[in-house]
Structure 1
Amino acid sequence: MAFCGVLIETAMNITFPTLMREFSLNTASIQWITTSYLLVVSIIVPIASYLQKRFTIRRLFLVANSLFIIGLLIDSFAGNFMVLILGRLIQGCGTGIALPLMYAIILTKSPADKIGFFMGIGGLVTAVAPALGPTYGGLIVGINWHLIFAILLVVMIFSLLIGSYAISADSKTEKVPFDFAGWLLIALTFASLIVGFSGFSSSFQRSLILIAIGLVALAGFVYHSNHVQHPIIHLAVMKNPAFNLHLLSYSLLQMVNVGISFILPNYLQIVDKQSSFIAGLLLFPGAALGACLAPIGGRIMENLGAKKPIITGLVLQLLAVLFLDIYAKNANTILILIMYMGTMFGMGFSFGNIMTNGLAQAEESQRSDGNTLFNSMMQFSAAFGTALVSVIITLSQKNGSHFAETTATGAQRALTVLLALTFINIISISFALRQSKNKS
């Protein structure tokens, strides 16, 4: 279920040109199909620790699966944009429960010497599934975009039946207080920042107000968490600089990954005039490469340490994004194919390893909260990355009459920003690895 939940994050990206015409919307508006989903996931994920203590794994699985099925059912028949968004919001609730549940099982049930390998498998789900999304969507949208949801609906019903049989209800539960105020503050933080930033292309003043509200809510959340007995997330783990730098690196990498997954499908269709089917196929080799390298990257870290696979992956991604940026105005399909494979090679080597090594910096008693922070920031960063590139592209599209040309300009500007973020990421993780090495 976690794979389907992450796959659907970007499966609709390939349909954006089609839906922009069908619903008469611009890029900044249509991106809410993905951003709204990611925003809800990022709001639900922080309460994962509470849910896992309060309810059995079986019950959480059944609720998450059922919510996801309801959302898919709505979108399988959605006739307008708002109904489509409603279905996406409900799907986000299901994924927000299921995704951290997967990581919690890996961290608590895996043998110590196999954690890196299984976290690599988890990295396969969270890093490669978003890359497979455009490929999956591209293969189907030519028939009818509703089928993107309908096919997954069949898969999820099968998953529900299998899970109902295979998952036992013997996990221990306990009654713990729920930090409702803390949850509201973090929800307000995420929502205000994402909505505010997404609105820069239409209302600069309103966006600044919303961002200010988000920052105030964030400060309130930090203060609240440090002054209550049972906060939604214990922030003591963030007193560790090495952990914080790993968390920053993980977030930046996710922003770049999702940003590229947003840019390339739209570039291929709008600028290169490729069909959605061809655009989806061109992204598949990169996705397949990332899928193969995710567990291999975890195994390399177990044998050689964290530095070599992480730095190698990020440098390869930097070079790939650099070439995409340089040739963005006239990139051909072969260049996009090869460079996307380069970015996914980097993701496979670095993404899961950054999280694994980051959690290793935390005390054992803090790893549950560290896991929640990583999962929350993964989803928030994905939403932020989508909003970031969509705003840049939309602003460029407004400054000209030739849609394909202005889209290419916007894509190049967005890639320049992603290139800068990748460079910052290499610096950040270098400091993090140096500190973690000193700690060991």
Structure 2
Amino acid sequence: METKKWRLLPAVIATAIMSSVGVLIETSMNVTFPTLMRLFQINTTTVQWITTSNLLALAITVPVSAFLMRNFAVKKLFITANLLFLLGVITCFLAPSFGVLVLGRIFQGTGTGIAMPLMYHIVLTKAPKNKRGTLIGLATMTTSLAPAVGPTYGGIIATSFGWRMIFLLLIPLVILSFVLGYYAMSMEKVSKHEKFNLKSFLGLAVGLASLLIAIQRVSLLWLILAIASLLTFYYFNRQNHLLDLSIFKNKKFFYFMYGSLAFQAASLGISFIFPNFLQLGLQQTATEAGLFMFPGAITVAVVAPIAGILLDKIGPFKPIASGFFLSSLALFLLIFLIGQNNIPLFLSLTILYMVGLGLAVSNVMALALTQLDDYQQDDGNSILNTLQQFSGAVSTTVVAHLFIAVPKNIATPEVFGSRNGFILLFIVLALGFLFFVQTYRKNTSPLL
């Protein structure tokens, strides 16, 4: 598991820890909103910037990671990501005002935006093909566990020790990631030095930020600004590539990528529906609703590495197809059974969905990226990670609207809204299943 002076497995674990901590802190702060509103005397719209600022920094940084990885040594980028995140954690812990707290969240989002693509870059460039499935499965295990653990971690720590301790207790994990990565990675020379396309970057940054705000606020004005900015990015990107958009001409990459995005959308949609349904429809507490998602997260953590091993041993079709089928079946059953006040049944179907997720999501991601040539890997990695962030944001926003868009004469509005959400998620995931099967079977040559 070594590539020259690289220690591959520890390097992957180091970047996975860094990415997981970034995702964990993103979701753990949601439970602190009421406390922060009272402390800083702010309203609901303002406190949302705790999450929005982090997502914006992440969304802006991830697309630039392709340029960074082509022009800077991986070890330098890893060290930078850790130091930025550590700075963000300390800033938030000591924050005397809401503005400083938001600044710390921006530092954290930037560090996570560098670390997350770096994790897959190391696997794709350093690992032999017969080990990629296992290593991506290992990486997915940690990053899939973090979103579900986040609310539980944040609730327990905030209740027991105060919200600032949410940040302080992450410092040992950041230090562990830094030490492990510094030991495992070799400082390689990078001979290629491109000129940074500032105009293209600004167009992309403003476009992504505006699009995220447009989705969250359902604003036509912000959407127009996003479209104009993204067109600006496209124009200047043609002159000097910040991202190689020609990879979208690769149909195999495009359709397999859609499968990965479909799972991201469905997972975050479920993560919105059930906590709200359990609290509003079944009168469960916030802690109980948060703990409901925890068994599913453990399931993904167990299944994902096994799925990676299966990919390396028997190929991609069976584990990915099985994963799509099980997750789609779980969503299909939820459409008809959501009216039952049966929490064990809901938990069983959620675990069934997570088994499918664990079998398929990391493998279909690996399959998508493997369709690209070596020189396109970094761009594909950056684009895939960026679109995952947006697919999750879009899914959460649309599902939230479906959840509350209920006719007045409906006796059980939470059931009605949840069912509509599950219908949408089932369609999105079923299309991913169809695209995967059709694309895979059209190719006679091995795809991975």
C-alpha change, 1:295 and 1:2, in structure 2 (3 Å) is same
State the alpha-carbon separation in 1 of the partners of residues 404 and 102 from structure 2.
Answer: 20
Q: Choose the corresponding residue for 1:217, options 229, 233, 246.
A: 229
C-alpha change, 1:169 and 1:305, in structure 2 (3 Å) is closer
Instruction: Spell out the pairing of 1:297-376 with structure 2 (5 A cutoff).
Output: 297-328=307-338, 331-376=341-386
| Alignment deviations for residues 150-198 of structure 1 (CA, whole Å, 9 cap, x no partner) | 2113422443355455544344354221122222222233222221121
Q: Which is worse superposed, 7-16 or 147-156?
A: 7-16
* Secondary structure at 2:193 match in 1: coil
Q: Which is worse superposed, 213-222 or 294-303?
A: 213-222
Give the letter for the 2:263 counterpart.
Answer: L
C-alpha change, 1:368 and 1:394, in structure 2 (3 Å) is same
* Secondary structure at 1:232 match in 2: coil
State the alpha-carbon separation in 1 of the partners of residues 36 and 343 from structure 2.
Answer: 23
RCO higher in structure (CA 8 A, sep ≥6): 1
| Alignment deviations for residues 117-143 of structure 1 (CA, whole Å, 9 cap, x no partner) | 111112223333223323333443432
Does structure 2 conserve the Cα–Cα contact (< 8 Å) formed by 1:268 and 1:274?
Answer: yes
* Secondary structure at 2:368 match in 1: helix
- Tell me the residue number matched to 2:64: 47
State the Cα RMSD in Å.
Answer: 3.2
Instruction: Spell out the pairing of 1:248-267 with structure 2 (5 A cutoff).
Output: 248-267=258-277
Deviation of 1:349 after TM superposition, in Å, equals 0.8
- Tell me the residue number matched to 1:235: 245
Give the letter for the 1:114 counterpart.
Answer: K
- Tell me the residue number matched to 1:190: 208
Does structure 2 conserve the Cα–Cα contact (< 8 Å) formed by 1:136 and 1:280?
Answer: no
Does structure 2 conserve the Cα–Cα contact (< 8 Å) formed by 1:13 and 1:265?
Answer: no
TM-score norm. by structure 1 comes to 0.85
Instruction: Spell out the pairing of 1:10-409 with structure 2 (5 A cutoff).
Output: 10-14=27-31, 33-77=50-94, 83-143=100-160, 144-164=162-182, 167-172=185-190, 174-200=192-218, 207-225=219-237, 227-228=238-239, 230-328=240-338, 331-393=341-403, 409=416
State the alpha-carbon separation in 1 of the partners of residues 243 and 228 from structure 2.
Answer: 18
Q: Which is worse superposed, 355-364 or 76-85?
A: 76-85
C-alpha change, 1:259 and 1:221, in structure 2 (3 Å) is same
State the alpha-carbon separation in 2 of the partners of residues 333 and 244 from structure 1.
Answer: 37
Deviation of 1:233 after TM superposition, in Å, equals 0.9
Does structure 2 conserve the Cα–Cα contact (< 8 Å) formed by 1:39 and 1:383?
Answer: no
* Secondary structure at 2:234 match in 1: helix
Does structure 2 conserve the Cα–Cα contact (< 8 Å) formed by 1:124 and 1:290?
Answer: yes
C-alpha change, 1:193 and 1:32, in structure 2 (3 Å) is same
TM-score norm. by structure 2 comes to 0.84
State the alpha-carbon separation in 1 of the partners of residues 155 and 177 from structure 2.
Answer: 24
Give the letter for the 1:380 counterpart.
Answer: F
C-alpha change, 1:326 and 1:88, in structure 2 (3 Å) is farther
State the identity as a percent: 36
State the alpha-carbon separation in 2 of the partners of residues 436 and 122 from structure 1.
Answer: 28
Deviation of 1:111 after TM superposition, in Å, equals 2.1
C-alpha change, 1:59 and 1:216, in structure 2 (3 Å) is same
C-alpha change, 1:137 and 1:322, in structure 2 (3 Å) is farther
| 2:440 counterpart of 1:433 | yes
Q: Which runs of 5+ in 1 are unaligned?
A: 201-206
Does structure 1 conserve the Cα–Cα contact (< 8 Å) formed by 2:20 and 2:146?
Answer: yes
Report how many aligned residue pairs link the two structures.
Answer: 428
- Tell me the residue number matched to 2:15: none
